[in-house]
Structure 1
Amino acid sequence: MKTFHLADPDATARLGATLAANRPAHAVVHLRGDLGAGKSSLARALLRALGVVGTVRSPTYTLVERYPLATGGEAWHLDLYRIGDPGELDYLGLDSDEAVLWLVEWPDRGRGALPAPDLEVRLAVEGEGRRAELIACSDAGARWIETCEALVLTPE
């Protein structure tokens, strides 16, 4: 596990860019944290760094937003806060092979219906900024964190 202090929105953008620059070819990220912890902000920063242009919406009401990536495939950003039962995910068309990146907010609500994560990011408000904990959940996730360490971000 690596912990970072994100002092401001620019630090969140740097973390998103770092994750984007080093992501595995296929990756699943679980984003955890209370309301307002910065889950959607980090997802938006990561998607922007991957070249997504135009509006990057929070999928609070749509549940899933799909973004084509220049490198091929799609990034899927899910917000499962409004899901009452994991079975509801069956109606979202998440069974295709188009997704090369899953960014899942409130993943516990989809337990058993989602692919296993490679990386878990726990976000929390900390003073004026945020605290981000990156936890590897697979070998690919562990390598991902290792490559992030050497870049702009300095772990606490």
Structure 2
Amino acid sequence: MADSLELHLADEAATARLAARLAPHLKAGDVIALHGGLGAGKTTFSRALISALRGTPTEVPSPTYTLVQTYDAHGLTIYHFDLYRIEDPDEVTELGWDETAGGLALIEWPLKAGDNLPAWRLDLTLEQTAEGRTARLEPHGEDWQSRLHGI
């Protein structure tokens, strides 16, 4: 198992700083699987990451009802999925799942994708604590492992 990185995030600003630190290490084809319960900060992290990649504050609605939102960040297409409401893992193919290979996929509730979730990815687990939240970044694939050393 690859080494994971665990960080304490005191508030939403710290979550945004983590997203900004991660942004320069991302490239086309990357998948970030966002784990955590309701209110853990998955959408907060996604909003901050999308804004960091675009280089400007960006209105990022939660894709809870649309299931996927897309954004352009200087030629990189970002696919922001929220799979909370899907019931069958194969439903992701109807959302343009296969089109994400040339872009960046941010996936909230990734376990709902079942076997469609790529093995080569970064798992980011957010958990609420009394002191804010913790973030655990768990790389799957050597490329992710080496990139995490730069965070």
Give the TM-score taking structure 2 as reference length: 0.90
Name the residue aligned to 1:19: 22
Q: Within 5 A, what are the aligned runs for 1:71-110? A: 72-96=75-99, 99-110=102-113
Name the residue aligned to 1:66: 70
> 2:122 touches 2:144 (CA, 8 Å); kept in 1?
yes
Secondary structure, counterpart of 1:95 in structure 2: helix
Name the residue aligned to 1:7: 10
Q: Check 1:97–1:103 CA distance in 2 against 1; reply closer, same or farther (3 A cut).
A: closer
Secondary structure, counterpart of 2:87 in structure 1: coil
Question: How far off is 1:91 after superposition?
Answer: 1.4
Q: Distance in 2 between matches of 1:45 and 1:11?
A: 10
> 2:67 touches 2:81 (CA, 8 Å); kept in 1?
yes
Q: Answer with 61-70 or 44-53: which moved more.
A: 44-53
**By percentage of residues, which structure has more helix?**
2
Q: Within 5 A, what are the aligned runs for 1:138-153? A: 138-148=141-151
Cα-to-partner distance string for 1:93-149 (whole Å, 9 max, x where unaligned): 22225642111011110111233342100100011411000111111211221110x
Q: Distance in 2 between matches of 1:54 and 1:12?
A: 16
Q: Distance in 2 between matches of 1:65 and 1:40?
A: 12
Pairs aligned (count): 147
Q: Distance in 2 between matches of 1:93 and 1:23?
A: 20
Q: Which one of 120, 125, 131 corresponds to residue 123 of structure 2? A: 120
Gapped regions of structure 2 (runs ≥ 5): none
Q: Check 1:21–1:145 CA distance in 2 against 1; reply closer, same or farther (3 A cut).
A: same
> 2:5 touches 2:136 (CA, 8 Å); kept in 1?
yes
Residue 33 of structure 1 pairs with residue 52 of structure 2: no
Q: Which one of 45, 58, 66 corresponds to residue 42 of structure 1? A: 45
Q: Distance in 2 between matches of 1:63 and 1:96?
A: 15
Which amino acid is 2:29 matched to?
A: H
Please provide the CA RMSD for this pair: 1.6
Cα-to-partner distance string for 1:31-66 (whole Å, 9 max, x where unaligned): 000100000100111111001654211111111011
Secondary structure, counterpart of 1:50 in structure 2: helix
Give the TM-score taking structure 1 as reference length: 0.87
